[in-house]
Amino acid sequence: MHEALVAAVPGIKFGLAFGESSRPRLVHWSGTDTTMIELAKKNAFSLAAGRVFIGFLKNVFPINVLQAVKSVPEVVRIFCATANPAEVIIAETEQRRGVLGVIDGQSTFGIEAEKDIEDRKALLRKFEYQL
């Protein structure tokens, strides 16, 4: 995962952590930014769910690395790639914990008008995202 992110965006700042599910069941970590690494380690340890990667990015949008992350053979599912606040839904049994899903962002507030559509498209063009 580390190599995929570094190759995706030159100079990327990130932190990654992975919850190992077999002995010694540690949180593995890497990254290029101390603050992002600490966030990833803290959150992975808090999740305490095996086989779960968590990453934090700095000065880059998730969309810029999403394809690179998807190309990593160990990645089976991506629950969330967002700049919004997110909550992870965990299931727990007597022996294990696992991620069921993620709640991303906030509830919708209304329906966009023509001006909102123009603003959304302008923002996507600014990020060089294909329309």
pLDDT in tens, 43-82: 999 999 988 999 999 999 888 899 999 999 999 999 998 8
- What are the tokens at 58? 């700095």
Q: What is the pTM of this model?
A: 0.82
pLDDT score at 127: 77
Domain annotation for the chain: domains and CATH numbers? 2-126 (3.40.1520.10)
What's the pLDDT tens digit per position in 4-37? 999 999 999 999 999 988 889 999 999 999 999 9
Q: DSSP letter string over the chain?
A: -HHHHHHHSTT-EEEEEEE--STT--EEEEES-HHHHHHHHHHHHHH--TTEEEEEEESS-GGGTHHHHHTSTT--------SS-EEEEEEE-SS-EEEEEEEES--------HHHHHHHHHHHHHTT---
